[in-house]
Amino acid sequence: MNKRVVITGLGVISPIGNDIESFTLSMRKGISGIKYIKELADYNFASQIGGVPDINNSEYEKIFEKFELNEADLTVKYSVLAALQAWGDAKLELPDRFSKNINEDYGAVIGSCAGGIELYTRKLYPMVSSKNVRKLGSQIIKNLMHSSTTSILSNIFALANQTISNSSACATGVESIIMATEKIKQSKANLFIVGSADPYSPYMWAGFDSMRLLARKFNDKPTQASRPLSASSSGFVAAAGAGMMIIEELEHALSRNAKIYAEIVGYEYNSGGQRNTASNPKRVIDCIKTALNIANISGKDIDLICGYLTGSQFDSREVANWKTALNLDKTYPYINSLKSLTGHTIGASGSIETIAAVLQLKNNFIHPSINCEDLNPDIKSTWDKNKIPQKLIKDINLNYIAKASFGFGDVNSCIILKKFN
Amino acid sequence: MENIKTDLINILKKYTLAKDVWNDFNDNSSIVSDLKINSARIVDIVIDLEEKYDIEITDEELEKLTCFKDIVKLIDLKSIK
């Protein structure tokens, strides 16, 4: 377990940018990607806003055609676009499709919360219901399995190590990174594509809307709707997208002169073991503490927390958990929420937000956590308000960032990223 | 027969990922080994043909479709009926 694991490639499809450059620019400028969605109004949603990546362009169409993905589910499409970016960013060669060469040391752990629900509702359910099973064709199974994305990426990149799909609600993205990190640390692989995705699908978002969990008071002011840490938050804003990363064993990365963004030095996942939807704070705190122990640092070494922070009633509880887990007293690290810009990309959030963390660590900035000018009073009394950035912080040296994701079913995951020197 | 060939080529091109396979194409070209079409796609080709010619291709007939001319012959036979 003494191998070191580093991040060498990034790719993103998100409501605030479909490439790392525009994604970074939106983060720095604090630009919201939340818009009014007429389809949700037509379906009588109380929340009629969301963060949806725009993938309608001819360049992407060519990619879908090349890899036979024209009919694919949105989860697969987002994932493939982001994975191709990450693969290219890591300066890895795209294998010849008809070559028999395979990468036995390369694998993939790609997750999703809702998987193929977009394809299910767009094609499978209507065709089976109208007795047209015979006309479904060959692409339904290929694109509808929970493992569809990993199977398709394995095909594109000739990945012949473990290729597996994980699902742990909103903790999925961080969990995928940890699963692959452990595999590399065990010397069972040299490189993994890791990440997660979830589609734009009213059918996925409807359940959250019915539970009154989605923001419903800002339909006329979409960019102000996602309000983590704010006193006036009315719920989270549903969103969609994918975040993909290349992670690899340090010596492997160095041997091919790869650009290194950050090192993954601490990690942990666990569950609350309760019978409630709400999280068990003890296990949240245990999760963060164990990640710190593995990183061999104390809570006071953390410079920035990229929180889970959805804009729900649980934000104040999360902030209190961080305070306990990091054993904070007088000095506090910065804390921000990418969801204030992107909305909550559900299963994709852990990986998209880890990419945001990596970019802040590498480029020495902290993005503003927008829409929390009216801080939640419980948070104001728990944390140093000056460490909740309302504006971009430039030229700040960051050494350690903690990123955590928590999810429905009481699941927790946390990683510690260290600047690579 | 020539119209069927043209229609079939247009359908097959939707599923041909390696474009250079058409350089050596002839009536005896195998769908899978010569045109390098994924074998799972045969069912999609059959669905396209059924819609185009308003015919139904049985499972037994499908199993015998290996090369270009097999398909052309079958469509010719079925569409005459």
Return the number of other C-beta atoms located less than 10 Å from residue A391's C-beta. 11
Question: Least CB-CB distance to B43: which of A66, A97, A138?
Answer: A138
Tokens standing for residue B41: 């796609």
B80 — pLDDT class (breaks 50, 70, 90): confident
> Residue B25 belongs to a domain with what CATH number?
1.10.1200.10
Mean pLDDT of each 10-residue bin along chain A, 421 residues long: 93 98 98 98 98 96 94 96 98 91 97 96 97 94 94 97 96 98 97 98 97 96 98 96 98 98 98 80 97 98 98 95 96 98 98 98 98 97 97 98 94 97 83
User: Is B43's CB within 8 Å of A135's CB?
Assistant: no
Nearest chain B residue to A63, by CA:
B17
pLDDT value, residue A277: 66
pLDDT value, residue A136: 95
Distance from C-alpha of A295 to C-alpha of A350, rounded to nearest angstrom = 19
Number of domains in chain B: 1
Which has the closest alpha carbon to A357: A323, A381, A333, A385?
A333
B17 near A CB under 8 A: yes
Q: Which residues does chain B have within 8 Å of residue A142's beta carbon, measured at their own beta carbons?
A: 40
Q: How far is A138 from chain B (nearest CA, A)?
A: 6
Global pTM value: 0.95
HEC profile of B54-81: CCCCCHHHHHCCCEHHHHHHHHHHHHHC
User: Is B18's CB within 8 Å of A137's CB?
Assistant: no
User: Is A138's CB within 8 Å of B17's CB?
Assistant: no
What residue spans define the domains of chain A? 5-255, 266-418
Distance from C-alpha of B62 to C-alpha of B59, rounded to nearest angstrom = 5
User: Is B41's CB within 8 Å of A135's CB?
Assistant: no
**What domain range includes position B30?**
2-80
Tokens standing for residue A290: 């164990």
Specify the CATH number of the domain A5-255: 3.40.47.10
Specify the length of chain B in residues.
81
Window 85-144 of A, Cβ < 8 Å to B: 97-98, 134-135, 137-139, 142
Q: How far is B50 from chain A (nearest CA, A)?
A: 10
Contact A43, A50 (CB under 8 A): no
pLDDT value, residue A244: 98
Specify the CATH number of the domain A266-418: 3.40.47.10
Tell me if A5-255 shares its fold with A266-418.
Answer: yes
Mean pLDDT within B17-41: 92
pLDDT value, residue A1: 65
Distance from C-alpha of A280 to C-alpha of A277, rounded to nearest angstrom = 9
A62 near B CB under 8 A: no
DSSP A143-207: HHSTTHHHHHHHHHHTB-S-EEEE-BTBTHHHHHHHHHHHHHHTTS-SEEEEEEEE---HHHHHH
Return the number of other C-beta atoms located less than 10 Å from residue A421's C-beta. 6
Cα angle for residues A73, A35, A33 (degrees, 5° grid): 80
Note the Cα A260 to chain centre separation in Å: 20
